[in-house]
C-alpha cells in the first residue's frame, strides 16, 4: 500500500547496506545498437554499450569510476540517433548528440557533460528522441512549466548551456528539482521531501519559453523545510 515502508534493498538485491539505488532500468534484450548513458551529480557523463552488461553475476559489475563526493544519479538507454539533455540545479541546460559521446569501458569516468559554475550541480538528465515534444521543468519550491524541446538547440558537449528557467524574484534558494521529457496527455506525481504526493495533468501546466519563470504547480511549505524532491 501507499503507506507501507517496503523491504530493505539489501534483503532482496546483492548490494551493500550503505549503497543507494539511483536508477532502475528495464532491459528485454541486449541490442548491439543500444548504449547506457550514465550521468553524475558533478556533471560527468559516459556512454557504454548495453552489451557490456549482458553477463552480470550476482556480485554485480563496476559501472563507472566516481570522483570523491560525486554520485551516479542517472542511467538511461539510448542510440546514436538520440540527443542528450542535461539540466543544472541553477537553471541552465545543454543539449548535444548522443553520437558525440565516444563509447567507453565500464570502469571509465567519462567526460564533462556541461561546465558548471561554483555551487551548481546536475539536476536531471534525459534522452531526447525525435518524437519528444515537451520538457517539464519543476523547481524545488513548486514552480514549473512545459518547454518545447526545440527551444534547446543542439550544441557541442561541455558548454555552459542556456537558460532553462528564470527563478521568481526573491526566491534566492529555489533550484531546479526535475527536468523531464513528457507528453501532453501524461499525468505526473509531484512528491515533496516531507512525503506529500500530488497528481496533476501535464496539459494543465502552461507551455512557456526557456526564460519564463513558470507557474505554481504545487504549494510547498518552504518555511518548514519542505521541497519538491522528485516528479
**Any idea what the Cα angle at residue 134 is, between residues 129 and 135, rounded to 5°?**
95
Backbone angles phi, psi at 226, to 5 degrees: -80, 155
The model's pLDDT over 196-215, given as tens digits with 9 standing for 90+, comes to 999 999 999 999 999 999 99
The model's pLDDT over 86-119, given as tens digits with 9 standing for 90+, comes to 999 999 999 999 999 999 888 888 899 999 999 9
What value does the CA radius of gyration of the chain take, rounded to a whole number of Å? Answer: 18
3-state secondary structure of 9: helix
C-alpha cell belonging to residue 60: 554485480
Can you tell me the distance from the alpha carbon of 115 to that of 121, in angstroms, rounded to the nearest whole number?
10
Residues 6 or more apart in contact with residue 64 via CB below 8 angstroms: 38, 40, 46, 72, 106, 107, 108, 109, 110
Average pLDDT score, the chain: 90
The predicted pLDDT at position 10 comes to 67
The model's pLDDT over 25-51, given as tens digits with 9 standing for 90+, comes to 888 888 888 999 999 999 999 999 998
Amino acid at each position: 500500500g501507499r503507506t507501507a515502508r517496503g523491504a530493505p534493498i539489501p534483503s532482496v538485491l546483492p548490494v551493500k547496506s550503505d549503497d543507494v539505488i539511483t536508477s532502475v532500468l528495464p532491459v528485454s534484450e541486449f541490442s548491439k545498437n543500444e548504449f547506457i548513458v550514465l550521468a553524475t551529480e558533478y556533471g560527468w557523463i559516459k556512454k557504454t554499450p548495453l552489451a557490456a552488461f549482458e553477463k552480470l553475476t550476482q556480485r554485480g559489475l563496476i559501472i563507472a569510476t566516481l570522483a570523491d563526493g560525486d554520485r551516479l544519479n542517472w542511467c538511461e538507454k539510448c542510440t546514436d540517433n538520440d540527443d542528450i539533455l542535461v539540466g543544472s540545479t541553477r537553471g541552465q541546460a545543454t543539449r548535444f548528440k548522443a553520437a558525440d559521446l565516444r563509447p567507453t569501458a565500464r570502469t571509465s569516468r567519462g567526460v564533462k557533460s556541461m561546465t558548471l559554475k561554483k555551487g551548481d550541480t546536475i539536476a536531471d538528465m534525459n534522452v531526447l528522441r525525435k518524437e519528444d515534444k515537451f520538457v517539464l521543468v519543476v523547481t524545488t519550491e513548486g514552480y514549473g512549466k512545459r518547454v518545447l524541446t526545440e527551444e534547446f538547440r543542439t550544441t557541442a558537449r561541455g558548454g555552459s548551456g542556456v537558460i532553462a528557467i528564470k527563478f521568481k524574484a526573491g526566491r534566492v534558494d529555489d533550484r531546479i528539482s526535475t527536468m523531464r521529457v513528457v507528453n501532453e496527455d501524461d499525468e505526473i506525481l509531484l512528491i515533496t521531501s516531507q512525503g506529500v504526493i500530488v497528481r496533476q495533468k501535464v496539459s494543465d501546466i502552461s507551455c512557456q519559453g526557456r526564460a519564463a519563470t513558470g507557474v505554481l504547480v504545487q504549494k510547498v511549505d518552504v518555511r518548514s523545510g519542505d521541497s519538491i524532491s522528485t516528479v
